[in-house]
Amino acid sequence: MTDYSDLIQPDKGQDARPIHLVDKKGYDEWLKGRSARERAHLAAVGFKPDAFVHAILPGDDPEKWSVVTTVADAASLSAWCLAKLGQILPEGRYRLEDRQPGKALFGWMSAQYRFDTYKSNAPTKGSRVLLTTDVGAIAPMVAEMRAVALVRDLVNTPAADMGPAAIEKAAGRIAKAHGGKLTVTKGEALEQGYPMIHAVGRAAAKHHAPRLIEIEWGKEDHPRIALVGKGISFDSGGLDIKPAAGMRLMKKDMGGAAHVLALAELVMASGLPVRLHCLVAAAENAISSDAFRPGDVLKSRKGLTVEIGNTDAEGRLVLGDALTKAGEAKPELIVDFATLTGAARVALGPDLPPLFANDDGLAEAMLAGGTERDDPLWRMPLWDGYADLLETDIADLGNAGSSPFAGTITAALFLKRFVPEGTAWAHLDTFAWRPSAKPGRPKGGAALGLRAAWAMLQARYDRRAKG
């Protein structure tokens, strides 16, 4: 596993290859300052100052070459401006010429992520190390990269090796490392106390038995927050079985759990002054003679009854019980992550998670965090006008909307029924997956919304501690 702290190091004047950053508007002026040899080389290779194009510049000595790369705006670097270089340059040390990397430190590390656990002969490539004199930025950026890598690793792991017990093991490691208290509810206690989680997971094999996993950490007198994650380790769709193509990526259906575990570790490792309650509803939605059925009515922990219109709308069921438990401790803030609806992908595609929130200030802080971290979100409406789509003839509500429209909104409205009145709440319908690679963002498991939520928590609670 990559130790990301090795990829960014303090600049103490050690030998390193220069990286020249230019943009289209400043390229001609920069070019005037280069040697005749360098200008001739750039002309010979047909270098154009288009974004993210790069070239190797020869030096007087064969080992003294440097790099020039173009970005959209050299004065304002995004997280991804150096990602391509971090991925393709030869191993060695590098430094930016006449500037600091800033947010681009993250993309440099992210580009060097690899998931090769199951490869017999994984290709090896030495590290590309970036130097910076902004030493204070190193540890926080490395922590975020480790959190993102954790999400990717958990989501990329096949479901046979990432069932509810393995999710519990990951939570246990995090709790132990940071002095948190781990509580796991399963078996008869789960059936009695969290009937919807139990119902969704009861058809799975014994070694994939459902459970509610909780981590508590922090001082009692600090503001209480809850992070809630959907941990469906594999989703067959249940008796409303998915087609083969729809089932292929369902190892990622525990992506919400991966996000909240990584976010919880960021909170604990940083010592954020909060009383943390992290909850993961872990289950496999399998098919057997004991599977829950369309038309069944489940009783929730909150006491509401839910008619099952579709067994493939199981994520909202396990989250309903987990949100109820979170609310019982009276937190001032609840944030949940879930790979909840295909409708979210239809609406916003794979890269942009929908954000729902019952508090405008919280929504604005989440959106601002996404902008600041280059981890964008898009707010969608919790429009109560669609609440009637969850009505059913024989129960308090149904788990599947009665209309093919507004699926993302009706799922969020379902969750809202399990959030205490007056508690600030945000729901992220994340995809947790990238169907194709981009610089610094490999195909596969993805942390989408994680860094936005972390930025919000830092802004909200670090400011309070200082004030």
Question: Which residues are catalytic, by number?
Answer: 242, 316
Q: Which two tokens stand for residue 386?
A: 């669609």
Q: What is the DSSP letter of 251?
A: G
Do residues 237 and 204 lie in contact, with contact meaning Cβ atoms separated by under 8 Å?
Answer: no
Closest residue by Cα to residue 224 from 301, 278, 300, 167: 278
- Strand order through the sheet with 297-299: 297-299, 305-307, 397-398
Which residues are CB-neighbours of 66 under 8 A, at least 6 positions away?
Answer: 17, 18, 19, 20, 56, 57, 59, 97
**Cα separation, 286 vs 281, whole angstroms:** 15
The single residue listed with the structure tokens 């090796």 is 161
The single residue listed with the structure tokens 């438990």 is 325
The single residue listed with the structure tokens 């709440």 is 425
Do residues 315 and 230 lie in contact, with contact meaning Cβ atoms separated by under 8 Å?
Answer: yes
Do residues 231 and 322 lie in contact, with contact meaning Cβ atoms separated by under 8 Å?
Answer: no
DSSP assignment string, 379-408 = E----GGGGGGG--SSSSEESS-SSSS-HH
How many Å separate Cα 21 from the centre of its chain?
29
Closest residue by Cα to residue 52 from 78, 84, 25: 84
C-alpha separations of 142 from 9, 81, 149 in Å: 11, 17, 10
Ramachandran area for residue 463 (φ above 0: left; ψ -120 to 50: alpha; else beta):
alpha
Calculated CA dihedral for residues 215, 355, 369, 418, nearest 10 degrees: -30
How many Å separate Cα 150 from the centre of its chain?
9
